Chain A
Amino acid sequence: SQQGEEDPQALSIQEGENATMNCSYKTSINNLQWYRQNSGRGLVHLILIRSNEREKHSGRLRVTLDTSKKSSSLLITASRAADTASYFCATDSMEYGNKLVFGAGTILRVKS
């Protein structure tokens, strides 16, 4: 299996609810990033968290990192229909030559 794996694969919620997506990885990392991709479009960087950080916020986004469990979570609060997209975590680590390695993503659908 791959370095980064998101969970769940798909998530469907009502507008206004919170959405939580998780990412697990295998090796020690330098940084972890979350990206968003609208259908058939390029990826857009959302937030970066360093390995020595535990939590970061950006607007309605909250990212946590637990290096002991090799996992991260992305929380989107008060979701909107426009948040409908695929969300990917990406890690960089010495073991993978410091290249960004992306997970398969979580498909989020926010129903209005």
Chain B
Amino acid sequence: ETGVTQTPRHLVMGMTNKKSLKCEQHLGHNAMYWYKQSAKKPLELMFVYNFKEQTENNSVPSRFSPECPNSSHLFLHLHTLQPEDSALYLCASSQRWTRTSNYFVDTQYFGPGTRLTVL
């Protein structure tokens, strides 16, 4: 148990559906992340939120829409997805996120992921 929970754990949706993924961290962290993990590919960073503000959008298509209402909760709203969007979506949190330090340390704590299948 890492202190980061994700729901649902599995999701099957059609290309015309709208669904949302939820992430909650109980660690008192200030930064939260969405990653996409596809088979045989490295983990892809999608979004970063720091103190509820989006600081990174890694050229993610607009059919993925993140929302961070507070430092403990992170959502990923999905609409009109494509079959190639099927993947494991991982949420993570860390104490802080900063660009300023040369000795920036970012140990991340991951949730169990949501296995998404787009039909």
Contacts and interface: CB of A to CB of B under 8 A. Distances in A.
B109 to A, nearest CB: 7
B90 A99 contact: no
A92 B104 contact: yes
B112 to A, nearest CB: 5
Contacts of A99: 45, 48, 56, 106
A41 B102 CA distance: 31
A40 B88 contact: yes
Contacts of B99: 97-98
Contact of A42 (B98, B102, B107, B113): B113
A40 to B, nearest CB: 7
Interface residues of B, number: 29
A87 interface: no
Contact of A30 (B41, B92, B104): B104
Contacts of B102: 30, 94
Interface residues of A, number: 26
B74 interface: no
A101 B108 CA distance: 12
Given A100-B45, A104-B42, A50 B112 contact: no
A43 B90 contact: yes
B56 A88 contact: no
A32 to B, nearest CB: 11
Contacts of B41: 104
In the A-B complex, list the 7 residue pairs whose CB atoms are closest, starting with the nearest: A42-B110, A102-B43, A43-B110, A98-B104, A104-B42, A42-B112, A102-B42
Given A94-B102, A99-B106, A100-B45, 11 more contacts: A42-B4, A42-B90, A43-B92, A43-B108, A50-B103, A88-B43, A98-B98, A98-B99, A98-B104, A99-B48, A102-B43
29 contacts: A4-B42, A30-B102, A30-B104, A30-B105, A41-B112, A42-B2, A42-B4, A42-B6, A42-B90, A43-B43, A43-B90, A43-B92, A43-B108, A43-B110, A44-B110, A45-B108, A45-B109, A88-B43, A92-B106, A97-B99, A98-B99, A99-B48, A99-B106, A100-B108, A101-B42, A101-B45, A103-B42, A104-B40, A104-B41
